Structure formats: C-alpha cells, structure tokens
Amino acid sequence: MEQRIQAGVFTIKGSFREKNEDNFFINHQYRYQEELEETDSVELDLPSMCVLCDGMGGTGYGREASQTVVQSIAKNENRLLHRQPNISVYESLEEMIQEANQKVIELADMGKKTGSTLALVYCESDQIYYANIGDSKIYQYKDNKIKQLSRDHNQAAMLLEIGNGSNHLNRMFGQNRLTQYLGISKKEFVIEPHYGEIPYEPMILVLCSDGLMETMTEQTLETYLKEYCMYEANEIARKLVEQAQILGARDNITAIILKIS
C-alpha cells in the first residue's frame, strides 16, 4: 500500500531568547530563519527524513551547533537513502549521528564550546524509524492517544529511571540538565542515541524542541491534537506553537508535524 505523508513545520524565536537556536531539515532541504510563520504543507517522497535540532542556549553558540548538525545530516542523507543492502538503517543512522557529533566537537576545538539536541524520523516505504539525543521530543498521536517515542536524556529522566524521582520531580528538577547531546567529546563519554521503529498506521508524529513542552503536559498536547488533527500539517504545527506561547512559553519553539495516512 502506498503511504501518504504530509509534513509541516513552524518555528519562532519566542519572547525570551535573543535568537532562534532551533533548526530543522525536512523534505531533503534544511533552512534557517528567525521566524517561520507561513509555509505550505508538503507531501514527502519516500524514503525521506525529518530532523529537528535545538542548540544549547547557555553556550553562546547554540544556533551554530544546531545548524552544523542539520548541515552534516543533509550532506550525508544519500548515504542512508542509498546504503548498501548489508548495512542496516540503524548502522547508517549511527554513522551519520556520530559524524554530526564530530562536527560539533570541531566547533569546540575552535573555541566555540557548544552542543545540540537531535530528534530524527526516517520514513522508508514499509517502516518508520526514529532516533533522538537530548530533550527534543518525538510524539506519536494515534487513536486519540499521545505516546512519547523519544527518550529524554536529562538529569530528571535519569533520576526517574533509577527510582529516585517522581513525575513532579521530573517537571521541577534537572529537566534542563542534559546527560546526552551532540558535541560531547569521546574523552568524556560515548554518546548513545535512542533508536526505535514503528509500522505505518494512520497517525500524527510530532517532533518538537523543548520550548513547545515548556508549559504543556502530554495531556495538554493530546487535547490540542484531538482538536487540530483534521487540519493540514503546517496548520497543526502553527497552532501548537501559538498555544505554547499563549501558555507562557519563553524559549525558542519549533514543531514539525507528519500526518501519515
């Protein structure tokens, strides 16, 4: 069965940051603008990849880091799309992510200590793959229910995993202290991206920077998606970002929406 994927994206600087440190790669192209207020939805040709990166704002070079990651992945996209039969999707993704990590490390070597998150969705003809590092999220909305596919690499999630936290703690403590991000030197530790895959079903995938969820819960996001799910992908992305602003989010906010049917 032929898969139909409609994609849309919306990004804003927000009310607090001096510049937009988010970046994205969609429909075989990357681009960067402070504000991206109106774009049409696009139909993705398979295979295709969507990427969202959030530069680490406290480093001073966050925008440069996120753009470096997006450019590196764009440069190596064909390596994944046209890989040899003996190379798995995960092997190819790992190679691309490690190379992007090295590019950000090189920024640090030039005196630009920085880092970036990564949320990635790769769609082939028969399966959807995803990967993430840091706290940029990937959500699946299916059958009126939201599910987080990505894994948060922050101190709060680490405490929850070892049993020393609670959901309240996860919202209040360590949420912005990343334990994994692109730009970590191998002398510190080896980055370990989170990978997974899902079959094709009617659903919506949301890739977002942490600015979107700054003032939302998953239940809030689920409620909005129930309300907006019949809209075009670009309109869903715009409405989610606008709602985050209304709720008081101050960080950069980017949302990529994939409507799959």
Closest to 120 measured CA to CA, from 184, 194, 17, 220: 194
pLDDT at 32: 60
Give the model confidence (pLDDT) of 140-155 as tens digits. 999 999 999 999 988 6
pLDDT at 174: 43
Q: Report how far residue 62's alpha carbon sits from residue 54's, in angstroms, rounded to the nearest whole number.
A: 7
Closest to 229 measured CA to CA, from 133, 144, 157: 144
pLDDT at 194: 98
- CA dist list (Å): 215 to 13, 26, 218: 16, 26, 10
pLDDT at 16: 76
Q: What type of residue sits at position 11? A: T
Domain at 173, CATH number: 3.60.40.10
Neighbours of 154 (CB within 10 A): 21
Specify whether the CB–CB gap between 159 and 169 falls below 8 A: yes
Q: What string of pLDDT tens digits covers the 261 residues of the chain? A: 678 999 999 999 877 777 899 999 998 887 666 656 567 899 999 999 999 999 986 667 999 999 999 999 999 999 999 999 999 999 999 999 999 999 999 998 888 889 999 999 999 999 999 999 999 999 999 999 999 999 998 866 655 555 555 554 445 544 567 999 999 988 888 899 999 999 999 999 999 999 999 999 999 999 999 999 999 999 999 999 999 999 999 899 999 999 999
Q: Which two tokens stand for residue 69?
A: 């990651």
Q: Report how far residue 94's alpha carbon sits from residue 110's, in angstroms, rounded to the nearest whole number.
A: 25
Q: What type of residue sits at position 123? A: C
Q: Report how far residue 130's alpha carbon sits from residue 149's, in angstroms, rounded to the nearest whole number.
A: 8
Give the model confidence (pLDDT) of 64-75 as tens digits. 999 999 999 999
Count of the separate structural domains present in the chain: 1
CA atoms within 13 A on the CB side of 125: 3
Structural domain of 234: 5-260
Q: Report how far residue 98's alpha carbon sits from residue 40's, in angstroms, rounded to the nearest whole number.
A: 32
- Provide the b/e sequence for 168-178 (b: ≥16 CB within 10 Å): eebeeebbeeb
pLDDT at 1: 64
Give the model confidence (pLDDT) of 174-215 as tens digits. 456 799 999 998 888 889 999 999 999 999 999 999 999 999
